[in-house]
């Protein structure tokens, strides 16, 4: 069977650290070209733009997008119009409306498309989801606290309009919780702390619930330079489930559970491969909707300026 010929648009940190290694490790894919205006990708043809890749590069069947969300909409539209399958790094777009339009276009074009909420593929997530399916939920506490200087050095787009700020990592937690819970969540209130020299929040406190009044709370901090924390604790009538390290570790009532050792992005590309084979798509909008609603109803407090260095 011939491999899926893949083009990559954007070759920054996430593409270099996660996407390219996962692609190269999956025999179903062959990375044949990259569109980047920065550091070139070794071993494949490099182009300055998606248009140049499509017009002058080797034939591709699918394209993975790793550019910042601002401006990505038009690029994904172009790929879909060319009949290419698409994988879109999270968050898929700068606005919910753009993401909704891509859902419609992918369906119209009859191609496979994936909004890659990579944290849903962490090793403990599916086991946790299965366990929770038969339990009586009481509350959910999310704590997602990390150091932006470590994970996004010099990436000023995060602080610009559409960059999401602390919701860039926070949306990972929301993607997990919306996958774990059967009923959709709704934002009741949000407190957004915005540095006075930025357009996006550096920290946030969110209160959510579902139709059964489940108490779901989230604390996001993007300026947490010590003891980074990515945890979700679900209290049930029958016990307490906890995910740590972004879902890589799972414990139930304090007892560590055995989980797969497959990495998130390896699982993402395996899922993309399956979608293409089955002529399907996976374009969930719930995590982005919760972020949009947090901005919509959130109260904003100005805090001290943020400096990357």
Q: What is the pLDDT of residue 162?
A: 86
DSSP-H helix ranges across 122-235: 125-132, 148-151, 167-180
Task: Judge if the upstream peptide bond of residue 206 is cis by omega within 30 degrees of 0.
Answer: no
- Of the candidates 209, 55, 63, the one whose C-alpha atom is nearest the C-alpha of residue 140 is 209
Residue where the block lists tokens 């579902």: 210
Strand order in the sheet with 229-236: 255-256, 249-252, 239-244, 229-236, 137-145, 215-221, 203-209, 186-195, 299-303
Q: What is the pLDDT of residue 147?
A: 94
Q: What is the CA radius of gyration of the chain?
A: 19
Asked if residues 66 and 19 have their Cβ atoms less than 8 Å apart, the reply is yes
Residues of the chain with CATH 3.40.50.720: 4-116+265-281
The fold adopted by the segment(s) 4-116+265-281 is Rossmann fold (3.40.50)
Across 18-22, 86-90, 154-158, least confident range: 154-158
Q: What is the pLDDT of residue 309?
A: 76
| SS3 label, residue 171 | helix
What is the residue-wise DSSP string for 210-250? -TT--EEEEEEESB--SS-EEEEEEEETTEEEEEEGGGTEE
pLDDT band at 7 (very low <50, low <70, confident <90, very high): very high
DSSP-H helix ranges across 57-120: 72-81, 96-109
- Of the candidates 89, 87, 88, 121, the one whose C-alpha atom is nearest the C-alpha of residue 264 is 121
- Of the candidates 66, 291, 287, the one whose C-alpha atom is nearest the C-alpha of residue 164 is 291
3-state secondary structure 4-42: EEEEEECCCHHHHHHHHHHHHCCCCEEEEEEECCCCCCC
> Measured between alpha carbons, how far is 22 from 139 in angstroms, rounded to an integer?
35
Residue 1 has pLDDT above 80, yes or no: no
Report which of residues 54 and 1 the model is more confident about. Answer: 54
CATH superfamily of 120-263+291-303: Dihydrodipicolinate Reductase; domain 2 (3.30.360.10)
- Of the candidates 190, 185, 215, the one whose C-alpha atom is nearest the C-alpha of residue 203 is 190
The average pLDDT across 219-248 equals 96
Question: Each residue of 146-170: pLDDT tens digit?
Answer: 999 998 888 898 999 988 999 999 9
- The pTM of this model reads 0.94
Residue 268 has pLDDT above 90, yes or no: yes
Cβ-based burial of 210 (10 A; exposed 0-12, middle 13-18, buried ≥19): middle
Q: What is the pLDDT of residue 225?
A: 83
- Of the candidates 139, 132, 297, 305, the one whose C-alpha atom is nearest the C-alpha of residue 215 is 139
Residues of the chain with CATH 3.30.360.10: 120-263+291-303
Asked if residues 193 and 170 have their Cβ atoms less than 8 Å apart, the reply is no
Query: Which residues are known catalytic residues?
Result: 90
């Amino acid at each position: 069977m011939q491999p899926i010929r893949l083009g990559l648009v954007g070759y920054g940190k996430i593409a270099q650290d996660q996407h390219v290694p996962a692609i190269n490790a999956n025999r179903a894919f062959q990375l044949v070209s990259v569109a980047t205006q920065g550091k070139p990708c070794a071993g494949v043809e490099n182009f300055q733009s998606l248009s140049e890749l499509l017009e002058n590069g080797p034939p591709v069947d699918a394209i993975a997008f790793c550019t910042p969300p601002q401006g990505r909409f038009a690029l994904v539209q172009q790929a879909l119009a060319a009949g290419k399958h698409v994988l879109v790094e999270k968050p898929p777009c700068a606005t919910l409306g753009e993401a909704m339009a891509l859902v419609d276009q992918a369906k119209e074009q009859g191609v496979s498309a994936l909004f890659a909420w990579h944290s849903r593929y962490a090793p403990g997530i599916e086991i946790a989801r299965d366990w929770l399916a038969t339990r009586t939920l009481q509350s959910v506490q999310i704590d997602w606290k990390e150091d932006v200087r470590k994970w996004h050095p010099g990436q000023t787009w995060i602080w610009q309009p559409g960059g999401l700020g602390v919701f860039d990592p926070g949306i990972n937690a929301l993607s997990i919780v919306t996958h774990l819970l059967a009923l959709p969540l709704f934002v009741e209130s949000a407190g957004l702390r915005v540095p006075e020299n930025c357009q996006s929040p550096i920290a946030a406190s969110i209160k959510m619930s579902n139709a059964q009044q489940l108490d779901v709370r989230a604390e996001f901090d993007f300026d947490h330079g010590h003891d980074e924390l990515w945890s979700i604790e679900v209290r049930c009538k029958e016990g307490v489930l906890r995910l740590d390290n972004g879902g890589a570790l799972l414990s139930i009532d304090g007892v560590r559970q055995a989980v797969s050792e497959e990495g998130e992005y390896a699982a993402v590309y395996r899922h993309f491969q399956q979608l293409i084979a089955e002529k399907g798509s996976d374009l969930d909008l719930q995590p982005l909707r919760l972020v949009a609603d947090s901005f919509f109803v959130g109260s904003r407090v100005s805090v001290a300026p943020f400096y990357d260095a």
